[in-house]
Structure 1
């Protein structure tokens, strides 16, 4: 091959528009998992060449500021912060991201047009997660820079369309970089996502099960013991479809009525308020914003406020008997706890081998 011919096709394919947009080496994103994606995991991902994302929804603004500065102390590489668009202090958080030079702002739900415009004006990449083609079209029209398209195999809140059908639909609908999420764990999955037209993959559960993840070892071993059939999508936690590991706690929630779940939900919602130092006034404002933006009933609203404490019980406190375990269906094919650097290098090496085989 002549010097002017450029790098091999496989190497070119693995350096995508997402790499250019985020300023990273590899098209791999570690998603902003609440209670999991703190400074340590985020910094490890970005240092290894991917895009790490801090989960800020379970942090106060002051805690987020400390996490951002800790990541910056650990690596000079770009990273992101995941935000909830309906938080009362969202404007303060965006000011913080802009001031600290955070590269990417990701959102689990669509941010407002004015939020997108403010971030773009400051040079911050805006990337919401979508679960339907029409949602991708809407946020692309509003000016977002990229989207994560999460299929039904994904963990936490998820839709009903499999990744293999959703991802090509979204790619065809928009002309911005698309990251595939839901069921991705290895290099073969990365190549599959590229074949569907995506610019990379975003993974949550696979990064939860790494050595830098702060999830207690007991909980990690529970995850590793499960098969692809040991998860369930339930509305009993907060009224929205959410994929979790099937446990006695989840079964109990599904058997109970809304009326019997509500008292427990109220207690946990108030506990979360104390933990995040949210005033009753801000709690009410946040609740009204969630109710308006997500069209929730009052009972759904209380359950939504309850969910963070159920997740914290397992992922932070290590108490599976009282909490829930969000997970992607890919849990059934994960068998080890590598370091983040080992995981990313393994994925990229496997993707390179697969591409080399396909291209001869």
Structure 2
């Protein structure tokens, strides 16, 4: 892998920009541990973003970035803050970053759009993206339709810029497999939820380490908001409404503030417990430093094993 050389970081690991979770102090902790931390702008106002960037700067002098959700109604102001604060790395999602690319390039900001299709990856390369984050449907939260195993090698063959794998990766073996399929680095989300530094409720962390992959389900199959979550009362009710009357108002009411209920209150029945399929591999809470060291050590061991078999 060579993402660490491209970004001048210790490990080729990026932290996903998880809404209501990926804030300044957490992003700084990831960067301090040798990865690249991101501040997630989902649900953030420009004032919120400015505050979190300042917090990150107070807690690290290493590179950190911002995950820009382009559907945010205040995205123009968010872009202004990213530029004025000297942010040098961006991931983008939920929209087309094309209208901002000229400004990003002028300010020497590396842009890695998140994609879930080959066509979108090609389009982002044409727009001038510096890299691509390929997110498979195994990932937590809002997802596409194609698995990482299938999508990653096709995107890697289709573009000539670095490709980062995301979704369903939670061990050194899987990191090595992603490298074989064409990845230059890895983006982690679910694995980082079970870390001491992650600012989610302890109930959420306990749910992550106790859940199996079979405890995961996808809600929102009947609309444009497919979301991977851990099964609970909220998810079961959502699926039942989808199956019967598809009452959009009832679905909106059910999910309103549901992520915050899980993240901040620790409500494991009525909250939206976003998690990827990799949750079944997570059985302990570690520091980010120990998690990254564990993953990288496993990756190097597996890589050396297969190199020595040649």
Q: TM bucket by the smaller chain? A: over 0.9
User: Which of 308, 316, 327 lines up with 2:275 in the alignment?
Assistant: 327
CA distance in 1, matches of 2:42, 2:177: 31
Structure 2 residue aligned with 1:215: 200
Structure 2 residue aligned with 1:311: 259
Structure 2 residue aligned with 1:272: none
User: Which of 95, 98, 103 lines up with 1:113 in the alignment?
Assistant: 98
Output one character per residue of 1:124-160: Cα deviation in whole Å (capped at 9) or x when no partner: 1111111111110111111111111011211111122
Structure 2 residue aligned with 1:284: none
Structure 2 residue aligned with 1:143: 128
Partner SS for 2:91: strand
Output one character per residue of 1:275-332: Cα deviation in whole Å (capped at 9) or x when no partner: xxxxxxxxxxxxxxxxxxxxxxxxxxxxxxx55x111111112112222111100001
CA distance in 2, matches of 1:140, 1:155: 25
Partner SS for 1:170: helix
Partner SS for 1:316: helix
Which aligned runs of 4 or more in structure 1 are off by greater than 6 angstroms? Answer: none
Partner SS for 1:265: helix
Query: Does the Cα contact within 8 Å between 1:163 and 1:183 map onto a contact in 2?
Result: yes
Output one character per residue of 1:91-115: Cα deviation in whole Å (capped at 9) or x when no partner: 2211111121112111123433121
Structure 2 residue aligned with 1:124: 109
Give the TM-score normalised by structure 1.
Answer: 0.81
Q: CA deviation at 1:238?
A: 6.2
Structure 1 residue aligned with 2:231: 246
Structure 1 residue aligned with 2:214: 229
Q: CA deviation at 1:229?
A: 0.8
Mind listing any 5+ residue stretches in structure 1 that lack a counterpart?
1-13, 269-305
Partner SS for 2:14: strand
Structure 1 residue aligned with 2:9: 24
Structure 1 residue aligned with 2:141: 156
Structure 2 residue aligned with 1:262: 249
CA distance in 2, matches of 1:216, 1:126: 31
CA distance in 2, matches of 1:140, 1:110: 15
Structure 2 residue aligned with 1:358: 306
Q: CA deviation at 1:217?
A: 0.9
CA distance in 1, matches of 2:149, 2:67: 25
Structure 2 residue aligned with 1:347: 295
Partner SS for 2:265: coil
Partner SS for 1:201: strand
Query: Does the Cα contact within 8 Å between 1:163 and 1:182 map onto a contact in 2?
Result: yes
Structure 2 residue aligned with 1:288: none
CA root-mean-square deviation: 1.7
Q: CA deviation at 1:350?
A: 1.4
Query: Does the Cα contact within 8 Å between 1:22 and 1:125 map onto a contact in 2?
Result: no
CA distance in 2, matches of 1:176, 1:262: 42
Q: Decide which moves more: 319-328 or 230-239.
A: 230-239
Q: Number of residues paired by the alignment?
A: 305
Distance 1:126 1:240, change over 3 A: same
* Greater helix share, structure number: 1
Query: Does the Cα contact within 8 Å between 2:193 and 2:208 map onto a contact in 1?
Result: no
Give the TM-score normalised by structure 2.
Answer: 0.93
> In the alignment, does 2:45 pair up with 1:60?
yes
